[in-house]
Amino acid sequence: MSSRIGAGEAQLISASGEGVTWINFEKTTSKQLGYLAQTYPFHPLDLEDCLSRRQLPKIDEYQDYLFILLHFPVFNKRAKVTQSSQVSIFLGRNYLVTVHQGDLKPLVNTFNACRQNEESRQDYLSRDSGYLLYRIMDILVDYTFPILNKVMGNLEDLEDKVFDQKVDAVLDVALLRRDIAAQRRIIWGLRGVVSLLETRVQAFTQEDLSVYFGDVLDHVNRAWSTLEECKDTIEIYKDTDYLLTQDSIQRVMALLTIAITVMVPFSIVSGIYGMNVPLPAGGGPFTFSMLLLLMLLISGGMLVYFRRQRWM
């Protein structure tokens, strides 16, 4: 059963089943939270945290409810980077309240399904609030894996760019490093909170949910392990791209140095014979040809020497 409590902007949109009532807020306003405070015994600081977007993941435990604040990754297609999306959860004995910005599509779709579909209500709302929290955590954690798969695909594409010296991969490496770092910050905070849920939620359920939340924690740890692997890989690509770029620069500098060195005999000989003083063979008809031949012989000898030293 779905319902709307209140009027105007202060409506509480909920979905109810035999075991629990789920109240969901998207893009919450202060008026909605004020009406929520009149209905449930929530601490004002917890309600204030719901409106803030810079809170760290945490669990606050009270006698009548738990306040859980989490962050999940959401990929911003316009900025091409993963960003953090905050979810605030109030867990009571027969109710659960979620407060978020509406950009976590699995959460939005699940709540709408519970409101509109009897089968979904039986699936999610027929047991207690602790089990509903597990189901929500499960779908949100699983939502991270398509984003991780995209990162893994980008890493595979980046490998070809890094080892192809005709393609500049510096910007791609930097963007992917930023994306991986953003996801690591999100998943790291999520690990700490999920590891505590197993014991904290047990006071609000009659079922033993340790296995369920243990499975969620395993998924979070798997996501973290994947990100650690991605971090190591992108660092290797960064170092490889830097080394290959430096090697290319050194080769160019070596060729330029050799070219300048080979031109030194031309500069010296032409400089000497360019002085306005009497010099040997200075006025002969074959002077220019002899000087040119001398400069070519010296430069050729230098090239042979550089070749034998494997400098070129």
Our CA angle for 179, 184, 187, nearest 5°, is 125
Structure confidence at residue 12 as a pLDDT band (50, 70, 90): low
* pLDDT at residue 284, rounded to an integer: 60
Give the confidence band of 6 by pLDDT, cuts at 50, 70, 90.
very low
- Residue bearing the bigger pLDDT, 113 or 250: 113
Q: Which two tokens stand for residue 100?
A: 């978020």
Average pLDDT, the chain: 82
Q: What is the pLDDT of residue 68?
A: 93
For residues 197 and 296, which has the higher predicted lDDT (pLDDT)?
197
Q: Is 90 exceeded by the pLDDT of residue 161?
A: no
Residue 197's pLDDT is 87
pLDDT digits (tens, 9 = 90+) for 229-270: 999 988 888 888 777 777 777 777 877 787 788 777 777 777
Q: 174: which residues sit within 8 A by CB, 6+ positions away?
A: none
Check pLDDT > 80 for residue 144. Answer: yes
- In this prediction, residues 45-63 reach a mean pLDDT of 86
Q: Quick one: pLDDT at residue 93? A: 86
Burial level of 69, CB count in 10 A (0-12/13-18/19+)?
buried
pLDDT at position 95 over 50: yes
pLDDT of residue 165: 65
Backbone phi, psi, residue 262, to 5°: -65, -30
Calpha distance 69→234 (Å, rounded): 30
Q: What is the pLDDT of residue 174?
A: 86
Q: What is the pLDDT of residue 9?
A: 45
pLDDT of 10 higher than 50: no
2's CB contacts (< 8 A; 6+ apart) are 13, 14, 15, 16, 114, 115, 116
- Pairwise pLDDT comparison (145 vs 31), residue with the higher score: 145
Say if CB 41 and CB 35 are below 8 A apart: no
Share of the chain above pLDDT 90, in %: 21
User: What does the pLDDT read at residue 280?
Assistant: 63
* pLDDT tens, position by position, 269-286: 777 666 665 656 555 666
Q: Which residue has the higher pLDDT, 289 or 218?
A: 218
Instruction: Quickly state the pLDDT bin for 5 (edges 50, 70, 90).
Output: very low
Q: What is the mean pLDDT of residues 104-120?
A: 89
